[in-house]
Amino acid sequence: MRMNEGVEWAAHVCVLLHWAEEGGDAPVPATRLAAAYDLPTAYLVKQLQALGRAGLTESVPGRRGGVRLARPAARITLMDVVAAIEGPDDAFACTEIRRQGMNAERPARDFAQPCGVAHAMREAELAWRRALAATSIADLAGSTPAGRAADARRFLAAP
């Protein structure tokens, strides 16, 4: 499975916004967030809009406006970010090809249970989703090497 690069961008931006809040510098303009990782502002804004629609971030209008987290970083998970950017749909969609070709004439009752492929994929996806849901933005921020938060705050606060 390959995720949209916007997931990476959004997760990193959420960590930056968390650090900005800790330093008293929230909200942060989208242009400054984009500059932090040399990202194209127009594309990052699309990710920020998706985060906003999901209730993870909010826009603050005005001269000192920008973007800030809509709730504490400890209550925003990586699964929240993935769902905001990628959508809530399952990664795997079984099309039941086993009912075609050599099995086309078999009765429907022969296919009452999901096939082994669908079952294995669903189990793997559930494990993946649980792992992402168990990791918060605050967890990510806390696992970052010492000094990065202070560096980020200085960068975000610069004119």
State the Cα angle at 69 between 65 and 21, rounded to 5°.
Answer: 75
DSSP 60-119: E-STT-EEEESS-GGG-BHHHHHHHHH-SS-S-----GGGSGGGTTS-GGGGSSPPHHHH
pTM assigned to the model: 0.87
**71 vs 68: CA distance, rounded Å:** 9
Q: Which residues pair with 77 in a beta bridge?
A: 136
pLDDT at 1: 66
pLDDT at 125: 93
pLDDT at 94: 86
pLDDT tens across the length of the chain (159 residues): 678 899 999 999 999 999 999 888 779 999 999 999 999 999 999 999 999 999 999 999 988 889 999 999 999 999 999 999 999 888 888 888 888 899 889 998 888 888 889 999 999 999 999 999 999 999 999 998 878 999 998 888 877
The torsion defined by the Cα of 32, 43, 77 and 148, in degrees rounded to 10, comes to -30
CATH code of 15's domain: 1.10.10.10
- Number of domains composing the chain: 1
Provide the residue range defining the domain that includes 17.
5-157
How many of the other CB atoms lie within 10 Å of CB of 79? Answer: 18
Nearest to 11 by CA among 62, 83, 61, 66: 83
